[in-house]
Structure formats: structure tokens, C-alpha cells
Chain A
Amino acid sequence: MDEKLAPHLEELTRALGNLEKTGIRAEFEKLIAFRVPPDVAKESILRKFGGKRKVLKVKDLSANLKNFELTGRILDIGEKLISPQGKAQESPSRLYTGVLADETGSVLFSSWKELPGSIGDVINVKNAYIRIWQNRIRLSIGEQAPVSPVVDSSLPPLSELSGSKTKKLIDIGTADFSVDTIACVLQLSYREVLVKGRQSRVISGVLADETGRLPFTSWVELAGIDIGSIIRIEEAQIRMFRGMPSINILSNTKVSSVGSEEAEKISFTFESAAKDPIPIKIEEIASRDSMFDVAAAGNVVSVRPGSGIISRCPECSRVIQKGNCRVHGKVEGIRDMRIKAVLDDGTGSMSVMFPRELAEIIYGKTLEEAEQLMFSDVSKDAVYEDLRRFLTGRYLAVRGNSSKSEFGISFVTENAWVPEDDLAVRTVELLRRLGPDEEDGQDRNSQVSSGGIDLA
């Protein structure tokens, strides 16, 4: 039997490296034990572990990726002992966690085996996968991920990788831990929160530069800084909340006002940064994991089921079905109205959610009016049907926050309106781009043939 398997194992070793160490051989033998023909087993092992393995950079990492290869420098590493719950007799496992970085960013990792390197070393990880943990992507290095040290790496040295990167707001994402940036304070408010039993004052608000906006939170007083201030922030921490990065100003973060002389050299002012966002292509929104306070415009190509009048649990505000909340059981529901629609501009499409205040505006009916429609009609979907008739095909512009998941983009609207009529201007511009009026037939023919010659 083994003789028959030997050539397949040899081939697998050539493709995937040491089979014994990574447990691939065991997996292969398991398939054989289930009477899978050896060549089929080989194929499926190759598909699972090798084949079209992608080589990625840190910035390319996103949720649900698997089977890729990554090379990075270890910025930080520590180990934890984890005892399996209720199995005290078993010896605790070791979990190694830390941060891996390349020139494009850094990522948290966790590994169930010891890595061949310590802080400052470069390692190459194959067959790694991504898990979401605490709102952040995390590189998981499992038993079946071969890790090898890289000796002569061209990656930037530790000092360069571990320092904060200077970034524009739009470039800040999940791959960042600590950043430096210059931005303008657009909004600022104070609130009191309890932190470890102590009352503390937290500042939250919105920062902007010429590329975009992001929310921020400061856990320290910001003396002399108010709405309109342009500030330089050094070593701010980036946290993720619902897929959206937010800038955290902690005690070791340096914040300073940008003087008026220097402010003149910056490519934005408070006035320019505070302008309402102009609609961008949905394609552009789709190209990023999340965007804060952006605008887009398109057609409502579909009003989704679940739009219209809904009931919410009075305790947790979850949408309830047939008077039952999935957490609180039988409850007296509170009526609410919302619209879920697909907005599409021809370059991209996104699922847009309108809360009650906006639903009432774009629908032109209040919750009470919609309720009357619901009670006066035998169909239980009367409001939904009415919404479909009213909204399908219409133009809408929306402003709000987007975030991307495996099902596409979700957009939560803060504001919605009918885009302004600018057709005359756009038509003139289009006619200009299309060039002068058509030439006579003779001319056209000659151009066609010259096109043909170009191709040949």
C-alpha cells in the first residue's frame, strides 16, 4: 500500500514542504483510510494547502481570508497559558500573541505553536488565515501553517516599523495601531463615563482633513483645543468600532495646535474640511472597508423586505416577530418604521438603511399615516407594497457611514435628499467630451479603416 502512496507523498512534499511536521501527512492518510483514491486525495490536499496560494501584504488582509502567505517582522510577542475550561487535569496550552508588520501596516497575530523568532525577527507564514477578534482582524497561525525564519529580509528595520506612521485620515484602517496625523476638529463634545468605578470626563468628536473624516475620543483634557482648531496628533491609538476606525487620544499621545504660519502650508482649512461631503461613486465606497460621513447618490433599484412598519422590543430595541423578542420573550412591541433599500449608481450597489425620521421624509408619510394604511388594507404588506411603488426607481442622495461585510456594503444614513437637478450643465459637458458634430460619411469611413489598420 505504502509503495503506491509513495509517489503521491513525494509530490506533496515537493509542493508543500515537510508533511510530517505540519500534519498534512496525517490528513492525507485520513482520506486514504476513508478509501479516497490516492490521486483524488492528493488533489484535494493540494487544493486545501497549496495550489494557488496568494502572497499578501498586511494592507491586503481582510476578514475571512485563508490559505495565504505573509512575510512580516515581529514587533511584539508574548505568551499566555490557557487552561481549557473544566478540564483542569489537562496541561494548559500556550498561546503566542503579538504584532507582525511589513512596510504596509501591522496586524495582530496569535499562534498555537512557538514561532521561530522573537522581537525584531522576520518570519514567513504560509497557510495562515484571518479571524475577527475584538472588532479587529487577527492573523491566526494554526498547527498546519508552516512558519520559517527569513534571514536576509528587505523589510524595513524594527525602529522604522514600530514607530507611528504619518497618515491621512482616509488611509487609516484595520492595519494601523498607532498613527500621527494632522487634522481639524469639526465636532467636539464632553461626556461623563464611569471607568473602573471612577467618574471621568471623555471628549468625543469628529476630525477632518482633505481626504475624509473620522471620529475621535480623547481620554485626556485637550487644553486650548476647540471646534475649528487644526491639531497635530502623534502616537494616537486606532481602535475599531463596528468596522469603523476611530482615533483614540491617550495619555501618551502628543497633541499640539498647528500655528497659523504652518497652517497655511496645509492643504485644507477649517472651512474646506467642514464643507458637506459631495457625493462620490459607490464603487469608491465599495473599495474601502469602511467610510465615515460620506455621501453618494443613485437609484433605488430595490426596496427590501423588512421595510415599512416594524415592532421593536421595548427593552433592547431589537426587531421582534409576532410579539416575541428573541432575547426577552413575549413583549409588548413598540411600533417603528424603517426602510431598507438597495441604492445603485451603476458603479456599485449598497444596502442602505433609513431610520424612522428619514423614512418619514423620503416616504412622505408619517408612522401614524402608514399605520392607518396598514389597518385599512387586508394585505399585511400594504405599507411595504406602497413603499415599493413609491420608491423603486427613484433618485436619492444619502449621507452617512458605510461598512463592508461579506454580504456587501451596509450604509447607515444620517441624511437623505433628492439630488439637485444639474442635467443641463452635465449635458453640455458631455457634448463637449463627445467632440464636434459628426463628420460626413466619407470622413467617417476613412476613420474606421484607419482604426482597423491600427489594430492589425
Chain B
Amino acid sequence: MKRMDRIEIHRFPVGESILLKREVAKRVFAREFEACRELEKSERSDSEAADSKSPNLLISPLGLILNRVFVVGVITELDNIGTQSEMWKARIVDPTGAFTVYAGQYQPEASIFFSTVQVPAFIALTGKARIYEPEPGSVFVSIRAEEVNVVDEEIRNRWVVDTAEQTVERLETFSDALTSGYCGEKLREYLLEKGVSSELAEGIAIAFEREHYPEEFAKLLRISIRESLKTLNLDSEGNTEAKTGQKEFVQELLREMGGSKGVDYAAFMDAATSKGIPEHVVEEAIRSLLAGGQCYEPKIGIIRLVG
């Protein structure tokens, strides 16, 4: 009986062929992304979705089914871990955690990007989710980069709000599904009737079968999102003053560390963050100092205060 339920769950509605079409780039926070697990093709058996051409899909504890993702965050670490050919490994931080990103010889565009990018920087990245499970219990979820670019802080903030919006909407659907008390095919029908997309309805039904305490993760994610939104450095009246203060502090620190020779950007960032200033604030302060002509880059990666 249970088997039957499963098969029913994964049927896509008529006309909604998922082949050929470009996979949507899902917006997901690192926290939810790293909790994703593989969605077995057999779980979606008997439908077009189980076709061999269908992409490898992951499913989050909240039922988000994903393959391609679009993330914006700060690149904080970058290593070339390849032996024979290059293989870049990068860490991209969002307000909830970090994404691990790889780009190798088959991602030439992304590899070229990583070979020239300055760390740290705000970057936007599209890529495919990968999962690696060397032994039971240890799972590594990463992104294989497709397209990467440097962006500004405003785009990062928008991404955080967009992602929060889409995640909160999913969380609300998820809570609704929990309180409904349904599961399996009944749950799917209930959600479809409420106007939930067929993919999410399917995802939530599968997540319910997998998770022992689905509410727990939802709860933690809620807290994490709330914190993330509060740290956003939005230009509302309340924090302009604090921002000016931080900018002055950064300027002072630059003077202290750099002297007349200037200071290495990465070293400066470490020093500033160790004094409790968030990275993006340092970043923004330096940028505004650069734009205002109060400091300049004598060499790439070196910041020097004017005068």
C-alpha cells in the first residue's frame, strides 16, 4: 500500500514535461542547502521524472527539490586543490552558513573567474548541486559552478531578502502540511488544492516520509532567517549612525596597521573581523573610502590610506 502511495505522489500533471526545459535556479540558504540529501530516482518512479535524462536531484528537509541553485554571498576562501589540472574549491558565505563550490577543467568559465577573483568579494553564482557520500553518515553537499561574477552589496542584500521570502513561504506551507495531519497521496492532494506547486507538494510529501522530526529543522531555519534579516545592513534611518561609526573605526584601524606602506587587504580583513566588525561592513567601508578618494590601491590587494 505504501509503495502505491509513493508512485502516486511522483506523477507530474499532464503536459508538464520537465525534460528539455532549463532547470530553475532555486534560491536557498546555505543552512538548508547543506541539509539536503539525494532524491533517489526510484522515489519518483513510474513517471517521466524518473527518466534517465532527468537531472540528479536533491531534496531539503523542508521538501525543496533542487538541482540548479543561484547564490549570492561573500567568497572567503579559495584554493586550487587540483593535482594535474586545476580544481578550484571556494567557500561562499551567506548569513546562515557557507556553500562549498567547485570548478574544474570542465567549468572553464568559472575556473578562469576563480583564478582572478580577489578574496573576499561579493559574488553571484549559478551552479548544479552535487552530493558526495564517501561512507554512510558523512555527506558532502556542494555546488559545481556554472556562471560566476562579482556583484555589489545591494545585490547580495536583495538575494538575502528574496531567498528569505521564498524560504518563509515554503516554511509556511510546511507548517500547514504538518498541522493538516495528512501524509502521502492525501497530503499531496491537500497541498495541490491549496495552490501549492506540484513539485513542492511532492517534495513535502517525501520529506515527511524521511524526516523523523521535520518540525525541528523548520524551527532552526526560522531562527536563522530571522537573525539573517536583522544583520542586513539596510539603509534605514536607525543604523546610519552606527554605520558612520564603523566606517570611522575601519579608517582608524587602517591608519594604525598600514602606516605609509599600506596593508594587505586579506590581513586587514582578518584583523577587522577579529575586532568584531562584520566582513560586509569592512568591505563597504573600504569601498566607500576608495570611492571617496580617502584611500587607494597602490598594488592589487594592498590598501593604503591617503595622507
Contacts and interface: CB of A to CB of B under 8 A. Distances in A.
A392 B166 CA distance: 21
B291 interface: no
Given A431-B226, A451-B216, A454-B181, A423 B161 contact: yes
A395 B159 CA distance: 9
Contacts of A342: 22
Contacts of B235: 424
Interface in A390-436: 392-395, 406-408, 421, 423-424, 426-427, 430-431, 433-435
Contact of B232 (A65, A344, A427): A427
A430 B161 CA distance: 8
Contacts of A437: 226
A346 interface: yes
B95 interface: no
Contacts of A427: 161, 164, 229, 232, 234
Nearest to A302: B147
Interface in B123-180: 123-126, 146-149, 151, 154-155, 157-159, 161-166, 168, 172, 178-179
B110 to A, nearest CB: 11
Interface stretch (A54-62, A192-200, A259-267): A54-62
Interface string A428-456: 00110111011000001001100110110
A54 B11 CA distance: 12
B263 interface: no
Nearest to B225: A434
Nearest to A438: B223
Contacts of B157: 423
B232 A452 contact: no
A134 interface: no
B124 A393 contact: yes
Nearest to A392: B149
B164 A347 contact: no
B164 to A, nearest CB: 5
Given A346-B70, A349-B22, A454-B178, A392 B124 contact: yes
A56 B155 contact: no
A346 B158 CA distance: 13
Contact of B151 (A60, A301, A394): A394
Nearest to B213: A452
A350 to B, nearest CB: 9
Interface string B166-201: 101000100000110100000000000000010000
Contacts of B267: none
Contacts of B165: 426, 430
Interface in B8-30: 14-15, 20-27
B219 interface: yes
Interface string A290-303: 00000000010110
A301 B70 contact: yes
Given A344-B25, A393-B149, A433-B172, A447 B215 contact: yes
B20 to A, nearest CB: 6
A434 B168 contact: yes
A395 B181 CA distance: 40
B248 to A, nearest CB: 24
Interface of A: 54, 56, 60, 62, 65, 283, 299, 301-302, 342, 344-349, 351, 388-389, 392-395, 406-408, 421, 423-424, 426-427, 430-431, 433-435, 437-438, 444, 447-448, 451-452, 454-455
A301 B168 contact: no
Nearest to A351: B22
Contacts of A394: 124, 151, 155
* Residue of B22, B162, B212, B216 ringed by the most chain A CB atoms within 10 A: B22
A279 to B, nearest CB: 12
Contact of B155 (A54, A395, A424, A452): A395
A451 B211 CA distance: 12
Contact of A349 (B24, B147, B149, B161): B24
Q: How large is the interface on B (under 10, 10 to 19, 20 to 34, 35 or more residues)?
A: 35 or more
A394 to B, nearest CB: 7
B252 to A, nearest CB: 29
A301 B25 CA distance: 8
* Residue of A283, A345, A427, A433 ringed by the most chain B CB atoms within 10 A: A427
Q: List the 5 closest pairs (A to B, CB-CB), nearest first.
A: A393-B124, A451-B215, A392-B149, A346-B27, A301-B126
Contact of A299 (B70, B164, B215, B219): B70
Contacts of A347: 24, 166
B72 interface: yes
Contacts of B216: 448, 451
* Residue of A345, A348, A393 ringed by the most chain B CB atoms within 10 A: A393
Given A395-B155, A437-B226, 5 more contacts: A65-B15, A299-B25, A388-B147, A392-B149, A427-B164
Contacts of A452: 212-213, 215
Contact of A62 (B15, B151, B212, B219): B15
30 contacts: A60-B15, A283-B197, A299-B70, A301-B25, A302-B147, A344-B24, A346-B24, A346-B27, A346-B162, A347-B166, A349-B25, A351-B22, A388-B147, A392-B149, A393-B72, A394-B155, A395-B155, A426-B161, A427-B161, A427-B229, A430-B165, A430-B168, A430-B229, A433-B172, A434-B229, A435-B222, A438-B226, A448-B216, A451-B178, A451-B215
A406 B19 CA distance: 9
A283 B25 CA distance: 12
B89 to A, nearest CB: 20
Contacts of B25: 299, 301, 344, 346, 349
B214 interface: yes
A271 B271 CA distance: 58
Given A349-B25, A430-B168, A438-B223, A299 B214 contact: no
A403 to B, nearest CB: 14
Contact of A389 (B149, B163, B178, B232): B149
Nearest to B157: A423
A451 B213 contact: yes
A356 B257 CA distance: 49
Contacts of B225: 430, 434
A434 B197 contact: no
A426 B155 CA distance: 15
B52 interface: no
B84 interface: no
B21 A408 contact: yes
B151 to A, nearest CB: 5
A395 B216 CA distance: 34
Contact of B236 (A344, A392, A424, A454): A424
Contact of A302 (B15, B20, B27, B126): B126
A47 to B, nearest CB: 13
A135 B302 CA distance: 62
